[in-house]
Amino acid sequence: MVAADVQQPCTGPSARVAVLIVEDEVLIRMLLADALRQADWDVIEAANAEEALAVLHTSREPDVLVTDVRMPGSVDGFELAAYVRRAKPRLKVIITSGHAGPDGPIGLADAFVPKPYDLGAIVARIRSLIDAND
């Protein structure tokens, strides 16, 4: 699943929350996507930053971006987060990594979650970021 999953415009406070997951590890992406759907959120999946950029340019803007740092392709998670900070400052960003520490995303992310992460904890972190906007 990629960009075509969520294309309706956000119509206000009653609109469902949309989360863009950028993760190259298929199993991790599927598990996280399932947990987010169980939280009753719309989920958009991307296998790398290039796919995520296409989503950000063609679909409804998500409310939250969850991105891994290390991915195949010419753009990593830090570069994706830097782009989002410049171009879409209202979008909440969570960076995850099993290799990088929280020092890398200073100023780039609203949260850093080290891998391996607990799915319930990342759902709770997303919920707290969304609730902070209300």
Distance from first CA to last CA of the chain, Å, rounded?
29
Instruction: In whole angstroms, give the CA distance from residue 121 to residue 134.
Output: 20
pTM of the model: 0.85
Residue 40 pLDDT > 90: yes
Domain ranges within the chain, ordered by starting residue: 16-133
Q: What is the CATH number of domain 16-133?
A: 3.40.50.2300
Residue 49 pLDDT > 50: yes
Residue 43 φ then ψ, to 5°: -125, 135
Does a cis peptide bond (omega within 30 degrees of 0) precede residue 116? yes
Residue 121 pLDDT > 60: yes
Residue 71 pLDDT > 60: yes
Structure-model confidence comparison of residues 2 and 26, the more confident one? 26
Of 12, 24, 107, 29, which is closest to residue 63 (Cα–Cα)? 12
Average pLDDT over residues 12-32: 89
